[in-house]
Amino acid sequence: MLDTSKEFLACFKAGKQAARQGDHEQAHRLFRQAIEIDPYHEQVWLWLASVVKDDADRRVCFENVLEINPSNPMARRQLMLLEEQASVAALAPEPPRARNRRWRWPLRLFATLLGIAAGVGGAIALGLI
């Protein structure tokens, strides 16, 4: 058990150092090793959440923290933020598709020509031309 604790601490400390230096891939690998040794250490899950690449993985990390410690305020707050971001993203309008842009200029040209034609037609009807 003592060797396991030393190995866990070595992985955890090295992972934190790698995360602080911006080496997220190395930190991710070290935190995963630490989790294999002790999956019930909430701080490792919090640190892992800081280096994973997507929100789904972050969510899993924070949910694991709350499984270990249901009153962890950071995990609760981060899960709420992830939920808010997901809600905002779901309500945001989709960006215009590139396919639609292809038709934008002919439609503008058509609308301009139609406006000119209507103007000319109106001028003829009023006897201005």
Tens digits of per-residue pLDDT, 50-77? 999 999 999 999 999 999 999 999 999 9
Lowest mean pLDDT among 3-7, 10-14, 17-21, 69-73: 3-7
Split at pLDDT 50, 70, 90, the class of 103 is low
In a domain, 116, yes or no: no
Would residue 63 count as lying in a domain? yes
CATH number of residue 52's parent domain = 1.25.40.10
* Alpha-carbon gap, residue 78 to 25, rounded angstroms: 21
What's the CA gap between 121 and 115, in Å, rounded? 10
Say if CB 68 and CB 40 are below 8 A apart: yes
- Total domains, the chain: 1
For the full predicted model, state whether its pTM sits above 0.75.
Answer: no
Whether 64 is covered by a domain: the verdict is yes
How many Å apart are CA 32 and CA 14, to the nearest integer? Answer: 12
